[in-house]
Amino acid sequence: MYIKKKKYPIVLALLLFNFSCQTYFYVSKEADKEINNTLYAESINNFSSTSIKENDLEQHLEYKIESYSGWWIYGEGEHFFKDESSLKEWSLEFLDEDEQQLIKLYLAICEMEFFPMESIMNGVLKNDTLLVESFEIIYVQGCGE
C-alpha cells in the first residue's frame, strides 16, 4: 500500500512535467510563428520597396533618347533650344558636360550670345527642358556677310 501511495505523486509529477513541457513547446511554436510572420512581412516590405525602385527605374527607361534638330541658343547664362519641326523653345540641361566648357565652346563658335547655332540634340524632353545626353553642331546660322 505504501508503494501505491508513492506512485500517485510520482505519476502526478510526471504528468505535470509532461503538460508543462507541452505548454512550453506550444508557446514556443506560437512565438516562432510570430517571428516568422514578422520576418515574412519584413521580407514582403523589402520586396515591395525593391519593386518600387525597379518600377522607378523602368519608368525612367520609358523615356527614350530622341534626336531633336534645331538651333542651340546661349545668352545671359541660359541655354535654349528651338526645335525645327515644332518651333517650340525649350531650356537645355547638359547631363555629362561641364557648363563652363560649353559656354566657351558656344562663344568660340558663335562669337557672341544669342546667335543661333544649328545642331542636333540627343536627349529626353521633360517638362519643357531638354535633358541632353549628346549633341552635334551642324551649322552656324548668321545674318550673312
CA 123 to CA 95: how far, in whole Å?
9
pLDDT category at 64 given cuts 50, 70, 90 is confident
Q: Pick the residue with more confidence: 35 or 88?
A: 88
Per-residue CA distances from 118 to 15, 96, 109 (Å): 95, 20, 11
Q: What pTM value is reported for the model?
A: 0.55
Kind and range of the H or E run holding 15: helix 2-62
Q: What are the grid coordinates assigned to 77, written together?
A: 547664362
Let me know if domain 66-140 sits in CATH 2.40.50. Answer: yes
Q: Using H for helix, E for strand and C for coil, what is the string for 120-144? A: EEEEEEECCEEEEEEEEEEEECCCC
For residue 129, give the nearest of 75, 85, 68, 76 by alpha carbon: 68
Q: Average pLDDT in the 10-16 region?
A: 64
pLDDT category at 100 given cuts 50, 70, 90 is very high
pLDDT score at 93: 94
Task: State whether the Cα torsion 81-87-89-95 is positive or negative.
Answer: negative
Domain ranges of the chain: 1-62, 66-140
pLDDT category at 22 given cuts 50, 70, 90 is low
- State phi, psi for 25 to the nearest 5 degrees: -65, -40
DSSP 8-class letter at 114: T
pLDDT category at 57 given cuts 50, 70, 90 is very low
CA 14 to CA 8: how far, in whole Å?
10
